[in-house]
Amino acid sequence: MTVLDGFDPTPWLGRSRSLEGRLDPFPAAALAAALDREDRPGEGDPLPPFWHHLYLHEPVRAADTGDDGHPRLGLFLPPVPLPRRMWAGGRLRIARLPRIGHKLRRTSTIRAVTPKRGRSGDLVFVLVEHRFTDTAGELFVEEQDIVYREPRSLPPRAEPWRMPTPLRAERCRLADEVLLFRYSALTYNGHRIHYDLAYAREVEGYPGLVVHGPLLATLMLDLLRDTWPEARLRHFAFRAVSPLFAGRPLRVVALAEEAIPERVILAAIGEAGQLAMRGEAVLARP
């Protein structure tokens, strides 16, 4: 007998909703400033990969907000009877990048709801597809893997990650509380683990504020485009491995093999060398 007995995800499969709006220059300029970048994109410029998380947010009434700060389950996402939500990873397939000042439409569809039993207890994986279009057709598709789990203690710190291929580029960052707050505000992310220290510690059992998964993915892809500015990103797949916390140094790295020039491995690494997020990008070279 588990909390998942009686949970039927079938009615939620295929559920879809759409939002559209104009890509205003301010959010992109604000994120560039928060990341201390000087190349802030302006009107008519392509929006950098993964910066789309700044746009197309639906206002959520206070009455429809859960205790964790997320929209209450059962509105769009299924009412999974597990209390902890994590952003586990996903995939990004790009045909074209949207441009700032243009209109963008996102159609979100629940593609799969998969209950599982793991070593740490019951899990439910929800796959949400986001399809982005403009007046000329499809731009890109993002698939998000969301996992719901039971409360549990954090696993022991992982061993330092052994890089599988030669290092091509790296960048050191300090994701402090101010950056986490600004990123939460810009992406309309109400999850309390990113800004409410007492909640993060006392309710979800983390030692500090958790660095956003999408922020790590953004830092990885920013390093990619800075290292290979002439290349075009075609595909990006990524997986969250372990959390990182505010105020502690982290590194994002890019690894590439000469034998496969279109393939780049990206990673976010914690202060002890542990792997926090791993990604693989496929580039179209000029």
For the chain, domain boundaries: 1-152, 154-286
- Alpha-carbon distance of 253 to 185, in angstroms, equals 26
pLDDT tens, residue order, the chain (286 aa): 577 777 888 999 999 999 999 999 999 999 999 999 999 999 999 999 999 999 999 999 999 999 999 999 888 999 998 888 989 999 999 999 999 999 999 999 999 999 988 777 889 999 999 999 999 999 999 999 999 998 877 767 778 899 888 899 999 999 999 999 999 999 999 999 999 999 999 999 999 999 999 999 999 999 999 999 999 999 999 999 999 999 999 999 999 877 678 999 999 999 999 999 999 999 997 7
pTM: 0.94
- The fold adopted by the segment(s) 154-286 is Thiol Ester Dehydrase; Chain A (3.10.129)
Please check whether the two domains, 1-152 and 154-286, share a CATH topology: yes
Sign for the CA dihedral angle at 99, 101, 102, 104 comes to positive
**φ, ψ for residue 202, nearest 5 deg:** -85, -25
Cβ contacts of residue 67 below 8 Å, gap of 6+? none
Count CA atoms within 13 Å of residue 238 on its CB side. Answer: 33
Class for domain 1-152, per CATH? Answer: alpha beta
